[in-house]
Amino acid sequence: MSQNFLADTLQRTANTMLAEYDRTRDIQHRGSKGTVRETLVLNHFLKKYMPRNVDLLKSSEVASLDGGRSAQMDLVVADPSAPFLLDTDDHRVVAAETAFGVIEVKSFLSGSELKAAYRKIASFKALSKTAYKSPLGTRQWLRAYGRRWETFPPAGIIFGYDGDSVRSLGNAMAEVAQEYQHEPHLHVDSVWVLKKGSLTWADPVTHNVRVCPEPGDAFRALVAKPGQVLMHLTAHLHEHFANAWTPGFRILDYFQHASFGNHLQAWVPTPPET
């Protein structure tokens, strides 16, 4: 067995994805082409290498208890134990409390596409999360984005098959990231272009890569081959989602202002006669 068995496997996966990507060039309808390519990255890569404790949902929206609603997201990373708010053959609505992250998929990622996806992901991350049960025993928490979280902070990732150079994409990301410099939890966590490389956050002093940005972090461009991109992305996905958790989704809260029926009568049980 090769010393880099997993790396070799991911290189073959990248080759398969790119071959299938090229085959979709003949699809004329832009929406259909995008859907097919979302399915390719889902079936050939994500379903095989994502942590098994999360679910992957195509073409879904995320809704919050206060009426907030995301745009339709290409892929939602969700709690597999939680019910959907809406489930049809081709569309789902997921409660914000049960959405661990989103992945936007682009055939060709240009600077303008990156900016639009960045803002779309920031809007998803800004959704409120309040419908939780009271925790039993020790309260779970973690630190991320420069603050303490008692709920799982959602992640946002952009994936493209091809795109502008990573330097050009880095310039576009620098512009849009300025809009969220005081809210690091709204930043996109990473950008991946299969044919080009990646944009990831790093400590500005040590240059150590971070899975999610801390206040004052910089991001860096990395030129890489397709297999290297998938290898690095696999590591990031596991750092994000391998320990994804929820304090306990309280679906009852989503029935607010709804009636369960009209009260008719109440009975008090009486002890049987001896």
Is 262 a domain residue? no
Average pLDDT over residues 74-99: 94
Beta carbons within 8 Å of 144's beta carbon, 6+ residues apart: 153, 185, 212
The conformation of residue 44, written as its DSSP 8-state character, comes to I
Joined tokens for residue 93: 């609505």
Q: Residue holding tokens 């390719």?
A: 40
State the pLDDT at residue 83.
94
Is 150 a domain residue? yes
For residues 48, 54, 169 and 116, what is the CA-based torsion angle, rounded to 10 degrees?
130
State the pLDDT at residue 33.
59
pTM of the model: 0.92
- pLDDT band, residue 137 (cuts 50/70/90): low
Q: Residue holding tokens 């995301």?
A: 70
Nearest-angstrom CA–CA distance, 121 and 97: 16
Output 188 or 247, whichever has higher pLDDT: 188
Is 270 a domain residue? no
Is 152 a domain residue? yes
Q: Which of these, 237, 203, 199, 229, lies nearest to 218 by C-alpha position? A: 203
Is 261 a domain residue? no
Beta 55-63 vs 73-78: how paired, if at all? antiparallel
State the pLDDT at residue 270.
87
Average pLDDT over residues 34-44: 83
Average pLDDT over residues 9-19: 94
Q: 182 pairs with which residues across the strands?
A: none
Biggest CA pair distance of the chain: 86
Query: Any idea which of 35-49, 160-174, 187-201 has the lowest mean pLDDT?
Result: 35-49
Q: Which domain holds residue 172?
A: 5-255
Tens of pLDDT along 179-197?
A: 999 999 999 999 999 999 9
Nearest-angstrom CA–CA distance, 214 and 143: 10
Q: How many structural domains is the chain composed of?
A: 1
State the pLDDT at residue 4.
84
- pLDDT band, residue 1 (cuts 50/70/90): very low
Average pLDDT over residues 167-173: 98
Nearest-angstrom CA–CA distance, 44 and 27: 19
Does residue 35 carry a pLDDT above 70? Answer: yes
Beta 155-163 vs 190-193: how paired, if at all? parallel
State the pLDDT at residue 136.
61
State the pLDDT at residue 80.
96
Is 264 a domain residue? no
Does residue 29 carry a pLDDT above 60? Answer: no
Is 18 a domain residue? yes
- pLDDT band, residue 31 (cuts 50/70/90): low
CA 13 to chain centre: 21
Burial class (CB in 10 A: 0-12, 13-18, 19+), 82: middle
Nearest-angstrom CA–CA distance, 105 and 46: 12
Q: Which of these, 236, 207, 232, 231, lies nearest to 219 by C-alpha position? A: 207
Backbone phi and psi for residue 194, each to the nearest 5 degrees, phi listed first: -55, -40
The helix-helix angle for 5-23 and 30-41 (nearest 10°) equals: 160
Does residue 209 carry a pLDDT above 90? Answer: yes
State the pLDDT at residue 164.
98
